[in-house]
A and B are shown apart, each in its own frame.
Chain A
Amino acid sequence: MSANHLSLVADIKNKNLNLNVIKQLLVFINAHLSNSDLNSASIHINTSILLDTQEDDIGFGDISERFIRYVNNYYVGCRNDVSTASSTLASTLAQSLCHVNRKIVQESKSTFRILVVAASDDVPPEYVSLMNSIFAAQKSKIVIDVVQIYNCNTIFLQQAAHLTGGNFIQATDPESLVQYLIMAFLPSQPLRARLVQPRSDKVDFRAACFCHKRIVDIAYICSVCLSIFCQPPQRCSTCNSVFPAKTLQKFTGSLQTHSHAPFQPSSLRESL
């Protein structure tokens, strides 16, 4: 039996997590910790590390106290300030990865996984940083699990789970969230192979373009760095490659002839 570290990543804004959900998340963390005395957990919310059971040396009871106090303070704090409601999910995930990466160096024997609690819609501007985090996780063999509560639209996180070999679960009934969590996310990676687990058979692989951050079905790809664009640009915004004028002309030509092309911004917006 090897040690397993669980990082819980959540982004709270607009009171998207109520006390009931938080309580159930805490029970899940406790369940993870009680599975083995080698297990540890850390909680990352809104780009801050709330706690790490290994580094802080705190017991079961303290975890819930800290978590609830933090969320309370946050809600009280943002009551007056509506503008703070921007998404920090991508940066929180990136931060948790950094945290885990530091741990990997320290203790190579442990296994690591991240559970992302998705309680709000995707924010297309976060696409690039989110994807980078996903590839980083993939490379260091960190599994990203995603639980989606409420009916929000999170195709990026769905891809995150798919690419890192994690589970993606839509908890349709937040009241029984803990049961979803225990069934889908409690087992460690080797154990999951021995279970029959819910799998999402359909993964939405659409990407967001780099230029206008729109989610697109078909797009233009930079032949050098594979950046995605919804309209053919003069030069690549990522790697600065200049595209041949001829090709651009051809594309603009096809744009005009097929006005119903799916990459056209107007039609795209309607389809979404």
Chain B
Amino acid sequence: MNELLVNYLKGLSKFNLNRLFNDKSSTLTIYRLLDDLNKQIISSLLFSSKLLDQSTLELLYKDADLVPLIELNIIDNSNGSITLNEQFKHSLKQILIGREIESLSNSITTTIEQLDTFATQQWELILHYMVGSYNSTPSKGVLFLLEKSNLIYTANKQHRISSKGFQFLLEDVQVQLWQLLLEYLSLSEIRQMDLVEVLSFLFVLGTLELGKDYSIESLTNTQQAMLSDLRDYGLVWQRKTSSKRFYPTRLATTLTSSAPPLLPTTESSSFTTSSDNKRFIILETNYRLYAYTSNPLQISILNLFVTLKARYPNLVIGVITRDSIRSALSNGITAEQIIGYLTSHAHTQMHRNNPLLPVTVSDQIRLWELEKNRLKADDGVLYAEFRSQPDYEILLNYAKSYDCVLWSNDIKRMFFVTLEGHQIVREFVRRRIPGNNNSSTSSQTPVSL
């Protein structure tokens, strides 16, 4: 489900991974991240006393790919046979034979609705801030994190959403969360926090139960320090900042689950349980757009590339214009992102159409983007000032045979080759025409299309 997280884990050192495998909830979470075939290979090795070698493996599992397992340090196949990481094996076995993951504590003193409201508030605050429709600002830590992860950038002392940030808004809540949390992890090293402790705390959060409170006493100092940050993201809730107990919210408990973070929330929320609520846009061939939403966040997102004309209690009407698209493009949002957003949020009524979006509109959006990119830059070398036409022709034909000529002009006796081509052509010049010093001007020239 979560490539982001897997790739991050692959980047960890063997030492850190082993420490993670020491922790049962981390082991289970990592195991669940793997694909089905690899899970099967691991579980078949768990209780088997026989050694498995590469050829037997290929016999048993067609198209087995152990690379992700080796990268995660779960499997070692260095000495001919395939063996499981001892630490990983031990933890997973403990889970399977039913040694419970210790729950920290439990007593129910707060309602789930309360937690949901809190989580939604905190998370929407961040999203609203990104699209620039905010009444209050998130905490400094959050802003720092957003800026660090290039989701927003500062222009004229104001934060603006970046292309990456727009892409971010299109993702599921879970992917958004992990994107931020992974950035948080990479920052934690700078802040001298222990990476493994941070990561395993996040994994533990994923196994906690919603609506129960947990004592902070069993947490390490690093993990206690994390709590205030996690509170800003809406992952945990505390009665007071100095409180000795914390409550994981739904954002936290669904962190490692493959189910979508179900946030049953109010009318104005962007989190939706059913896909129907997510589909609210009707786009017509005359570029008019009707969005059945009253959610300020969705409206702000639309406002990034639509000229909004009218707003009703449950409906927003706007027009896609050249100017509105160009202003989005100049913010770094791409045409594909816009089309992708419109497609994934298209109203069920629109799903009768094939293709889903009116072709005129989607093509026009792409054309407007092309308008912006009339120039394409290629790195290369310009060959010029040939003494004679034959010299020019020999070299040009030679370069053409390697398919590296980007542009040529017979009258001016000039041609432009790619950087890779330059090596070959230069060799040829040295070999063939030793005395001939026709100058090649090294440059980086934009070539008009």
Contact = CB atoms under 8 A, between A and B. Distances in A.
Interface of A: 1, 23, 26-27, 30-31, 34-38, 59-61, 63-64, 176, 178-179, 182-183, 186-188, 190-191, 194-196
Main secondary structure of the interface of A (DSSP, over half): helix
A195 B36 contact: no
A122 to B, nearest CB: 30
B354 to A, nearest CB: 25
B374 to A, nearest CB: 44
Most interface-central of A37, A60, A176, A183 (chain B CB within 10 A) = A37
A60 to B, nearest CB: 5
B210 to A, nearest CB: 12
B274 to A, nearest CB: 13
Contacts, number: 77
Nearest to A196: B60
Given A34-B95, A61-B100, A196 B259 contact: no
27 contacts: A1-B258, A23-B97, A27-B98, A30-B95, A30-B98, A34-B28, A34-B32, A35-B36, A35-B39, A36-B258, A37-B258, A38-B259, A59-B100, A60-B95, A60-B98, A61-B99, A63-B98, A178-B47, A179-B44, A179-B47, A182-B46, A183-B44, A186-B40, A195-B37, A196-B59, A196-B60, A196-B61
A182 B62 contact: no
Given A27-B97, A34-B96, A196-B62, 15 more contacts: A1-B1, A26-B98, A27-B96, A30-B95, A30-B97, A35-B39, A38-B259, A61-B98, A176-B47, A186-B40, A187-B36, A194-B37, A194-B62, A195-B40, A195-B62
Interface in B40-67: 40, 43-44, 46-48, 59-63
Contacts of B39: 35
Most interface-central of B47, B60, B96, B97 (chain A CB within 10 A) = B96
B63 A194 contact: yes
B92 to A, nearest CB: 8
B59 A64 contact: no
A42 to B, nearest CB: 17
| Interface range on chain B (Cβ under 8 Å from partner) | 20 to 34
A39 B46 CA distance: 20
B33 to A, nearest CB: 10
Nearest to B36: A191
A31 B259 contact: no
Contact of B96 (A31, A176, A187, A191): A31
Contacts of B134: none
Contacts of B331: none
A126 to B, nearest CB: 33
A191 B37 contact: yes
A199 to B, nearest CB: 14
B153 interface: no
A178 B49 CA distance: 12
A36 B46 contact: no
Contacts of A63: 98
Interface in B86-102: 92, 95-100
